[in-house]
A and B are shown apart, each in its own frame.
Chain A
Amino acid sequence: MNLEIILGVLNRAMAYGTPLLLATLGEVYAERAGVLNLGVEGMMMLGALGGFVVTYLTANPWMGIMAGALVGGMFSLIHAFSAITLRANQTVSGLALTLLGTGIAGTLGRNWEGKTLATPIRPFSEAFLARCPILVRMIFKDIDVLAVGGVVLAVFLWFFLFKTRPGLFLRSCGENPSASDALGINVWQVRYLAVFFGGVMAGLGGAYIAVAYRPAWSSGMTQGVGWLAVALTIFSFWNPLYALVGAYLFGALFHLAFRLQVLVAPELLNSLPYLFPIVALVFVSRLAFRKKLGVPEALGKPYKRGETG
């Protein structure tokens, strides 16, 4: 009985938490390489639009997912250019990216406003579930293969970041770029790749919302999930595995807000997912910054050869 409830919550947490997880994983990589990107919300919006439109036109949701990821990645290069090449203020550049992304999605997406998808990504079929063990069946109910892919990806990205040489190089660019440069690591290239990857993941998260989670288009459909991803990056201590836990925690919270609607006004409950990260940041920020838990030393600082700090 208790197990049933736990699995039920886990199941819903997966469904709600996956877009957040995908976007957060990307931001973890960008920030680990030393680049703060506050444009996640904008990249997600464009990814959602790209995913929706391509699925709508080709009737192939996988094409849509790939298109969304690509759009997000391409769009992130604007931030990469201004933050890495021009060494502009990363906070403001990210804000500009969000403004631009939501603006473009709103203007270009107008013709699709309110349209739904006939060919979304479908959850696992009954036939498939019937062949699974009962526990798996309970977790995978109404879940699609991308949500499971998110878990695999989180584990893989953790492994890559902490257990491989390229992962070490990436982290070193975020910790001490001049030392990395002296060791022959191309800081410029690593940071560009990390920001691009962050954009791909944000685009993927956005496309997931538009093609699987809620297969329809409305401007503003990401509803601040991009900002939640930026917050979650901090209180997952820049660690993909903690990001997985955090995203599912959020997913469970979304689910809870949905379930409590009979008792409390939905508008007030809808505030919960935005209040929770504030509380979490309070608990975590001091810890993170005092004990240096995972905070990339050079986060947000542009790197120029010959300059220290």
Chain B
Amino acid sequence: MQFRVEPSLQSKASSIFLLSLLSIVLAFLGSSVIFVFYRVSPWEAYLTFFHGAFGSWYALSETFKRAIPLLLVGVGLSLAFRAQVLNIGAEGQILLGAIAATWVALFSGVPSSFMLPGMFFLGFLAGAIWALVPAVLKIRFAVNEVLTSLMLNYVASNLVLYLIGGPWKGKGVRGFTYTDTFPEAGWLGTIGTSRVPYFTLLVGVVVAVAGYFFLKKTALGFELRVVGSSPETARLLGISEGKITLLVMFLSGGLAGFAGVGEVAGIHHLLRHPSHISLGYGYTAIIVAWLARANPLATILTAFLFGALISGGDALKVSLGIPFQVVSVLNGLILFFLISTELLSRYRIVWGSSRGGGAIEP
């Protein structure tokens, strides 16, 4: 049978879904090299992985626990990516949220009934302001936001290390470097006996739905999409690119900060080493948003998927002794296959002979 490839004007939702699925399968196949290196049969690794991600109520709750920050950050990044603003600094923005929440919980002296609201409010604000730095530099000085937002991740990480090792070091922790435990008024309630905070889970879903309607139904959402898809048109319509950049950086940074609060208030109940507060959520959320094609509603699905990836990776570490960085390998591979197959979705395969063989020219 003969076929040819020709440009397709629009890619169908079904083909996008299939290509995304293909990317994930290919990434899993590719990562089997690492399993072989650790003398683990890939089949056993996959089984352990799926068992660790979905195999029991505990596994599912772990998956949900990881999916919450990914969802919150992923929705924010979807908005940013839609406007062609590449915020790579979510990891640092998460940490800033955690820092602000810790300050409220331990040092502000706020009455206990205001503690959680205060933590989330300031956490959102701290992440948002941290994200505005690259935004302002981009608008004012044409500095590439990828680099500045990423550099600030290292700064935020050092800031946490400084605080937990110095001024905020807990009184009762001696040799360890973390803060004292928050008062219980600063703890988030969890679902049943699991470690899944329901508040942030609920907010994540609400934000995803709200983000979807914001993009689709509001004037500001329309402006955002125009800036992202065609800056020239935006200029002709008098839409301020700077305003949109500020908006999406504020929202994505704020949501990342909010997620950071959720991690310390819902899971750790103290401020500790940056790599424990965020297991690379800020970077993984980039792929969550990319896989969702920057559609906030679809991030509910992709965040869950990558939550599973992380808890599955955890299981690989615990049961088979494969380092946790295997998750980074999977992330990188998925991203590669996604952008590579994107080219395919821009074309379609037409079955039949190349000329006059039945296929109708568009």
Contacts and interface: CB of A to CB of B under 8 A. Distances in A.
Interface of A: 38, 42, 78, 82, 86-89, 91-93, 95-108, 110, 219, 224, 227, 230-231, 234, 265, 267-268, 270-271, 274-275, 277-278, 281-282, 285-286, 289-290
Contacts of A274: 151-152, 154-155, 158
B29 interface: no
Top 3 closest A-B pairs, CB basis?
Answer: A103-B328, A100-B332, A106-B325
Given A87-B343, A100-B332, A281 B158 contact: no
A96 B336 contact: yes
Given A103-B327, A110-B323, 5 more contacts: A103-B325, A227-B147, A281-B143, A285-B142, A286-B141
Nearest to A288: B142
Given A277-B151, A289-B142, A100 B339 contact: no
B102 to A, nearest CB: 16
Interface string B313-338: 00000000011111111111101100
15 contacts: A38-B146, A78-B336, A92-B335, A95-B335, A102-B328, A103-B326, A103-B327, A106-B328, A107-B323, A107-B325, A227-B150, A265-B166, A271-B159, A274-B154, A278-B143
Contact of A102 (B147, B290, B325): B325
A82 B341 CA distance: 10
B34 interface: yes
Contacts of A290: 142
Contacts of B326: 103, 107
Contacts of B148: 278, 281
A93 B336 contact: yes
Contacts of A99: 283, 328-329, 331-332, 335
Chain B interface bracket (under 10, 10 to 19, 20 to 34, 35 or more)? 35 or more
B146 A275 contact: no
Given A89-B339, A108-B34, A274-B151, A285 B143 contact: yes
A301 B158 CA distance: 35
What is the predominant secondary structure among interface residues of chain B facing chain A? Answer: helix
B37 interface: yes
Contact of B343 (A86, A97, A110, A234): A86
B340 interface: yes
B162 interface: yes
Interface string B132-144: 0000010001111
A293 to B, nearest CB: 13
Contacts of B166: 265, 267
Contact of A96 (B322, B325, B335): B335
A106 B327 CA distance: 10
Interface of B: 34, 37, 86, 88, 137, 141-144, 146-148, 150-152, 154-155, 158-159, 161-162, 165-166, 283, 286, 290, 322-333, 335-336, 339-340, 342-343
Contacts, number: 134
Most chain A CB within 10 A, of B290, B325, B342, is at B325
B340 A86 contact: yes
Contacts of A289: 142
A231 B336 contact: no
Contacts of A275: 151, 155
Given A99-B328, A282-B137, A93 B339 contact: yes
Contacts of B155: 271, 274-275
B158 A268 contact: yes
A93 B161 CA distance: 31
A23 to B, nearest CB: 14
A278 B154 contact: no
A265 B151 contact: no
A282 B143 contact: yes
B17 to A, nearest CB: 19
A101 B283 CA distance: 14
A302 B325 CA distance: 31
A274 to B, nearest CB: 4
Contacts of B147: 227, 230-231, 234, 277-278, 281
Contacts of B162: 265, 267-268
Most chain A CB within 10 A, of B155, B165, B336, B342, is at B336
A100 to B, nearest CB: 3
Nearest to B37: A108
